[in-house]
Amino acid sequence: MPQARRERQKKCCGCIFSLGALALCLWLLFVTTKPTCSIEEFDVFALTKTIPSSSPTGHNNTIYYDLKLKNRNFNKGIYYDTLNLTFYYKPNLVNDFPIGNATFTPFYQGHRKSTHRFGDIEAKGVKWEHITKLAIFRVELATSVRYKHLLWKTKRRRFMVGADLKVNDEGSLVKVKGKKGIKLTSNAKNDIGHFQVLGILGILLFIHSC
């Protein structure tokens, strides 16, 4: 009897291992990872030392930016709908107001690929003379994405991220260590597909039955 019980336990462990391996494969196949977005450059020309003589206000209100988008999925492409960027100025930690916006046409991004979207805006309503040291701006990105699996595409999923940007008195973006750009973040979690959930539930039910 003990021998039969040991054989049964071995078979049960083998089944658990197989189902675990299957669940891992399903996870790798169907899980989707949201793209990483960051602002790599954010140049505020009104804060630079050089002011063009042709400017009627004494300031060049142009802000140049470099938006980077990276697809971290190793086996899935991403279809982006129109990218909508909104820029804000924050005179203090409580208040902010919009100073410009930009849009970029829909596009497709292959797996493990990165791309950049460059542009500039004319900042409106900023009292540059009141800025003495650090200036704080904010950028928010809103779009919808679809993930391309091997044989199908997912439904559209809303994607919204944003970040505060610190700019020094020379008009340059204050970056993090290693001179990396500022990552746009969101509180949303990574998406989990039905197959992962079913696989995990199947393993739990099997273990319970053993």
Predicted confidence at residue 188, as pLDDT, reads 43
The closest alpha carbon to 35, from 134, 122, 139, 112, belongs to 112
Beta strands in 113-156 (DSSP E): 114-122, 135-148
Predicted confidence at residue 45, as pLDDT, reads 95
d(C-alpha 165, C-alpha 188), whole Å:
21
Examine the pLDDT at 35 and tell me if it is beyond 90. yes
For the chain, what is the mean pLDDT?
Answer: 82
Can you tell me the mean pLDDT for 170-187? 89
pTM: 0.76
Predicted confidence at residue 14, as pLDDT, reads 60
Examine the pLDDT at 123 and tell me if it is beyond 60. yes
Examine the pLDDT at 11 and tell me if it is beyond 80. no
Could you state, in order of their start, the residue ranges of all structural domains in the chain? 36-209
d(C-alpha 23, C-alpha 27), whole Å:
6
Stretch (H or E) spanning 38: strand 36-44
Predicted confidence at residue 74, as pLDDT, reads 87
Can you tell me the mean pLDDT for 89-94? 90
The closest alpha carbon to 39, from 180, 178, 200, belongs to 180
The domain over range 36-209 is classified in CATH as 3.40.50.150: no
Stretch (H or E) spanning 155: none
- 210 vs 84, residue with greater confidence: 84
Predicted confidence at residue 152, as pLDDT, reads 86
Joined together, the tokens standing for residue 79 give 């279809």
DSSP letter string, 49-107:
S---TT-TTSS--EEEEEEEEE---SS-EEEE--EEEEEEEESSSS--EEEEEEEE--E
pLDDT band at 192 (very low <50, low <70, confident <90, very high): very low
Can you tell me the mean pLDDT for 18-28? 56
